[in-house]
Copies of this chain bind each other. A is one copy, B any other.
Amino acid sequence: MDKLCKYGTHRVIEPKGVLPQPAWKIDNTPKIYKNEILIDVDTLNIDSASFTQIEEQSIKEGKEVSDIILETVSKRGKQHNPVTGSGGMLIGKVADIGEQLSGKIDLKKGDKIATLVSLSLTPLFVERIDSVRSETDQVDIEGKAILFESGIYAKLPDDIDDNLALAVLDVAGAPAQTQRLVKEGDTVIVIGAGGKSGLLCLYEAKKKVGQNGKVIAVEFSDEGIERVKEVGAYDEIIQGDATDPVELLEKVENVLDGEMADLTINCVNIPSTELSSILVTKDRGTIYFFSMATSFTQAALGAEGVGKDIDMIIGNGYAYNHSDIAINILREDQAIRNMFQRIYT
């Protein structure tokens, strides 16, 4: 066996030498090494871009969603979607703590936690899938997962339903980055505004832009528009298709009198929305791509192709305090809490 590594390279099977995230296959044996934490898993929250892809595949190939998940986990030792490359996260109870960590971390056996590292690098051993909840991308299982020494986690709060916390923590990076990126007076466009991360971003953006700023919600479906209205954190709503850049640009120009966004936040769960994001952003503006369906080359070459000098940021799922920021939105805003409670629990 390799030397124990805080990043978990000792569990990498193929190819050797890489970290667990890019690895094709990792060792999911549900028995911990000295620097690991064992988790009794209750529920997986599959990343939205990944879940959307799995559902499409399930229809196309006539397979169950649960079978596709089991197949991936048995092939790779982790729920790492081979098509989208993305994962998700999980909640469960601490079952065991390796002796090198015991006493040095604020966890004890039995604590309920959410892992804040992606499923795409988390060794996962599934005994049984109990239920797949398509509306929420959540999957209840019997099984075990391993958290590496470098892995981050959050203890689940007492005042919030577990599945609700799981849903919100899945996208905790988005509102945290929104807090950082939005400046007073900014015009902010959130694309995919009626989704889970979109609504949280709308809320944080609306708080930060102040009286002189503007928050524009772009959503596709009627249901999404209803969700945006129910939460109410916006100045304008545009119903439109983010895969049609020219049409969306026209709609934005209409609403903003030809102006464009200082900051665009992309929260969709489908591919091919890079150019829309680029066109609606002003020169020297910023795009925050939270969507896991973003293509690096489409973004880089798309901006160059239309001669737009903008900063484009890759949505890092982690930011200091992101779990607190996200959970606190549920404490601060009753409208979001009510809706999320309805949808996710």
Contact = CB atoms under 8 A, between A and B. Distances in A.
A206 B227 CA distance: 51
Interface stretch (A128-136, A194-202, A289-297): A289-297
A35 interface: no
A143 interface: no
Nearest to A302: B21
A192 interface: no
B85 A304 contact: no
Nearest to A322: B309
A297 B290 CA distance: 10
B22 A302 contact: yes
Given A300-B316, A301-B85, A246 B19 contact: yes
A89 to B, nearest CB: 9
Contacts of A303: 316-318
Given A85-B297, A246-B19, A297-B292, A308 B302 contact: no
Nearest to A84: B297
A151 B120 contact: no
A341 interface: no
A272 interface: yes
Nearest to A290: B300
Please give the count of copies of this chain that the complex contains: 2
A86 to B, nearest CB: 6
A17 interface: yes
Interface in A194-245: 243-245
A106 to B, nearest CB: 15
Contacts of A9: 246
Chain A binding surface SS class: loop
A145 interface: no
Contacts of A101: none
Contact of A150 (B307, B315, B317): B307
Contact of A305 (B118, B296, B306, B315): B118
Contacts of A311: 313, 316
Nearest to A176: B309
Contact of A294 (B22, B85, B86, B296): B296
A329 interface: no
Contact of A316 (B117, B150, B312, B319): B312
A344 interface: no
A21 B301 contact: yes
Contacts of A300: 292, 314-317
Most chain-B CB neighbours within 10 Å: which of A17, A289, A292, A316? Answer: A316
Interface string A54-69: 0000000000000000
Contacts of A289: 296, 314
A150 B304 CA distance: 10
A216 to B, nearest CB: 21
A313 B314 contact: yes
13 contacts: A7-B246, A17-B246, A19-B275, A19-B305, A21-B301, A85-B295, A117-B307, A120-B305, A294-B296, A300-B314, A300-B317, A308-B316, A311-B313
Closest 8 CB pairs of A and B: A304-B317, A85-B297, A312-B314, A304-B318, A152-B307, A21-B305, A121-B305, A303-B316
Given A19-B305, A21-B305, A116-B304, 4 more contacts: A22-B298, A118-B304, A150-B305, A304-B318
